[in-house]
Structure 1
Amino acid sequence: MPVADLFRPLPLKRGLALKNRILLAPLTNWQSHDDGTVSEADVHWISRCAAGGFSMVMTCAANVQAGGKAFPGQMGIYSDAHLPGLTRIADTIRQNGGVSSVQLHHGGIRVDPALSQSTPVGPSDIPGVARGLSLKEVEATRDDFIAAALRAEQAGFDGVEVHAAFGWIIMQFLSPTFNHRTDHYGGCLENRSRFLFEIIDGIRAACRSDFQIGLRISIERYGVSLTDIREETIDYLDLAVWDYRKAASEAPFTGQSLLSVFTDLPRSSVRVGTSGHVMTAQQAVEVLDAGCDFVMIGKAAILDPDMPRHVEMDHAYRAPALPVRSDWLRGSGLSERFIDYMRTWEGFVLDA
């Protein structure tokens, strides 16, 4: 597939079409205020990426409950006090020609008690780690995801992405490792999936008809088959992998790429994409060649928020090599707190 195909528009089942196939991955950055309200650094970063040509610009993971906070400086979407800042972000994305989305998140058992000032919670008790949610609390958490989507709609976003990857609370419900419930949210896969599907169905029922819903799921360790996704309800699926080239290690897919296990399945109108060490124009094309409809850019966007524009001009484009100096990241639009976060990634920031 030629690099130019990355710049073919991508219609979704609902809402605005994407102007190209290169989307900004949701990126943790530590730079919102302690109360979850949007900072000037948030607005500046999002503006840089929107102006850089990404077709969909997604916020970092925004927590849907005050007690769901997993990162310092995490964006919040659990209170109307967050609306003014969220509206600014939606406005700047729109002004730069992008489609906007908020990633909805709850840390579950991985909540940081020092940040949330509450005990981590999950589907079941884990002694010394987390408390199992009561049935009423499960339903309240589900409703908080739905309320957060409504808040995103009110702020002017085109849609939301439900974060069900990397072991956060929805994936904890899906996983028999963490979900030992004996009610209708535990046991068989249908029951373990109920929390996720009730969130998605609730958002679809509550928000306007053209509101876009995406879903991020892990396809390593906690895999969920595409056949279990309600194709009539979501608009796109974001497959979370650490490396798009990784091969499956479990039978009957041994040796087959993890992506192909999913992209080979029927998916009707649901668009499918992924991220994972995509650092060059050619690697972005390889993701589409693997059967995806779009590619999510993370590390390369941090290094170069203008990546889509640069790829369009230079089909041999390669993102800057790692590690990079902190001055480079400041020039890319990262705040000091964002740079501090990137220092937690081994081999990313080269300090004197």
Structure 2
Amino acid sequence: MSQIASPDALAAPLVLGRGPAWPNRFAVAPLTNLQSPDGVLSEDEYAWLVRRAEGGFGMVMTCAAHVSQAGQAFPGQLAAWDDRFLPGLTRLAAGIAAAGGVATLQLHHGGRRGDARLSGVPVVAPWDDPAKRARALTTDEVERVVADFVAGAVRAERAGFHGVEVHGAHGYLVCQFLSPRNTRADRYGGSFENRRRMLWEVLRGIREATGPGFQLGLRLTPERSGIPLAEARALAADVLASGLLDYLDMSLWDAFKETHEEEHRDRLLIEHFTTLPRGATKLGVAGKITSAPDAAWCLDKGADFVLIGAGAVVHHDFPALALADPGFRLVHPRPREHFVAESVGPRFLDYLATQWTDFVS
């Protein structure tokens, strides 16, 4: 991007409606890293996340932590569905906080993208999906999943996290309920209002069950999940105005792109959301933000903060580098030794080397 970063804007604390202020406008994006077998926090995952707090990220978010046994979608995925995971979560929250970061646990359920081979239980989804070997949740089971999200948030608060983010993006369970493919005949499917009901119940349930200083965020994605942009924008507008959230995290895949839908190309995708009224709710964006100028451009477009993915993997101190050099840009791939020095564990490193083409040289 051509914009030159403003260190003052990016370094400014972010004051939310609840809980502690974030020290700056940089957050670690929730990144799949496969480092915690059996869902129990591993030394590698602890080191990876705490190192990012040490590197100056204002908010450090975990990978997607599944709130139901059936919600597991990845090997080595952090779990939050039982009290046996509480000691590890408690240690992680304390480590992030001690290093100066605001600690956030992302709450997740894979839905039809779950893996029965990992979870040991059948895959469930809003609708029957033989191709995914998934069966439709009953109405009672939807209510139990809502309760699981709430219980995960309560567990996170007990562990000492400053807040949670509900994963409503990227085609996982909450996103599946939002999809027009969800034609359930009960109150959780069919109309746009019904398809949103499960999410609203999760957000209201978490807000009612946690303390007044506990932060609540939501991740949404407006494209590549089958949700029309008009519906994504309407939902974003409603949650921003609801007073339930402290922040909305829009995962745009590419924060600088036009929309896929030609009829909405009157403005960039990011502008469909940064122009919405938000009251006290903060708005963050993610997607190919790999330089200090990129981050400043997003703030100039109206975002309150940015979520960093690739940059956080390559540099634990991406915020410090970006604030020290307004022209700082991420350069990769890097050799394996670089990632080892950046506290990327062997499972995560193998994942980067085999699933991505531009990280490990």
- TM norm structure 1: 0.96
Which of 203, 220, 226 is the matching residue for 1:200? Answer: 203
Give yes or no for contact 1:231–1:268 (8 Å, CA) kept in 2. no
Opposite residue 253 of structure 2, the aligned amino acid is W
Listed one character per residue, the Cα deviations across residues 267-306 of structure 1 (whole Å, up to 9, x for unaligned) are 1111001111111111110111111000000100100011
**Deviation larger for 116-125 or 206-215:** 116-125
C-alpha distance in 2 between matches for 1:113 and 1:343: 25
CA distance in 2, matches of 1:2, 1:94: 26
Runs of 4+ with deviation above 3 angstroms: none
Partner of 2:339: 329
**Paired residue for 2:148, among 135, 144, 149?**
144
Q: Name 1:131's counterpart in structure 2.
A: 135
CA-to-partner distance for each residue in 1:152-182, whole Å, 9 max, x for gaps? Answer: 00000010000000000000000012x1201
Question: Is residue 231–residue 269 contact of structure 1 (8 Å, CA) maintained in 2?
Answer: no
Alpha-carbon distance between aligned partners in 2 of 1:8 and 1:93, rounded to the nearest angstrom = 20
**Kept after mapping to 2: 8 A contact 1:44/1:333:** yes
Please give the alpha-carbon distance, in whole angstroms, between the structure 2 residues aligned to 1:103 and 1:216: 9
- The yes-or-no answer on 1:314 pairing with 2:318 is no
In 2: Cα distance, 1:39 partner to 1:169 partner: 26
- What is aligned with 1:338? 348
Superposition pairs for residues 82-231 of structure 1, below 5 Å? Answer: 82-129=85-132, 130-177=134-181, 179-220=182-223, 221-222=226-227, 223=229, 224-225=232-233, 226-229=236-239, 230-231=241-242
Residue of 255, 260, 269 corresponding to 2:280 = 269
User: In the alignment, which residue of structure 1 is the partner of 2:295?
Assistant: 284
**Matches of 1:25 and 1:17, distance apart in 2:** 18
Distance in 1 (CA, whole Å) between partners of 2:242 and 2:292 is 30
State the shift of 1:119 in Å.
Answer: 2.2
Tell me whether 1:66 sits opposite 2:76 in the alignment: no
2:23 corresponds to which of 19, 36, 39: 19
3-state SS, counterpart of residue 160 of structure 1: strand
| Structure 2 Cα separation of the partners of residues 209 and 70 of structure 1 | 32
- Work out the CA distance in 2 between the residues paired with 1:46 and 1:298: 12
Amino acid at match of 1:311: A
User: Structure 1 stretch 224-233 or stretch 83-92: which is displaced more?
Assistant: 224-233
Q: 2: CA distance between counterparts of 1:78 and 1:346?
A: 29
Aligned AA (1:346)? W
Return 5+ residue gaps in structure 1 as ranges: none
Measure, in 2, the Cα distance between the counterparts of 1:43 and 1:267.
34
**1: distance between equivalents of 2:285 and 2:359?**
25
CA distance in 2, matches of 1:317, 1:162: 31
* 2:25/2:304 contact within 8 Å kept: yes
On the 8 A contact 2:26/2:308 being kept in 1, the answer is: yes
- Which moves more between the two structures, 112-121 or 82-91? 112-121
The answer on whether the counterparts of 1:63 and 1:69 sit within 8 Å (CA) in structure 2 is yes
Q: What value does the CA root-mean-square deviation take over the aligned residues? A: 1.3
Task: After superposing the two structures, state which structure 1 stretch, 200-209 or 240-249, moved more.
Answer: 240-249
- Which segments of 5 or more consecutive residues in structure 2 lack a partner in the other structure? none
Cα distance in 2 for partners of 1:25, 1:249 equals: 23
In 2, the alpha carbon distance for the partners of 1:285 and 1:138 equals 41
Secondary structure, aligned partner of 1:197: helix
Once the two structures are TM-superposed, the CA of residue 86 in structure 1 deviates from its matched residue by 0.5
> CA–CA distance in 2 between the matches of 1:14 and 1:269?
10
Aligned residues: 348
Judge which range, 324-333 or 80-89, deviates more: 324-333
| Rounded Cα–Cα distance in structure 1 between residues aligned with 2:307 and 2:130 | 37
TM-score by length of structure 2 reads: 0.94
Map of 2:251 onto structure 1:
240
Give the 3-state SS of the residue equivalent to 1:104 in structure 2. Answer: strand
1:318 and 1:4 map into 2 onto residues whose CA distance is 18
Asked if residue 257 in structure 1 is aligned to residue 268 in structure 2, the reply is yes
Aligned residue for 2:39, secondary structure, equals: coil
Find the aligned partners of 1:308 and 1:203 in 2 and give their Cα distance. 30
C-alpha displacement at 1:252, in angstroms?
4.0
Cα offset, 1:251, TM superposition: 5.0
Between the aligned residues of both structures, percent identity stands at 44
- What is the deviation of 1:136? 0.8
Residues 161 and 213 of structure 1 are in contact (CA less than 8 Å); yes or no, is this contact kept in structure 2?
Answer: yes
Report the structure, 1 or 2, having the larger helix content.
2
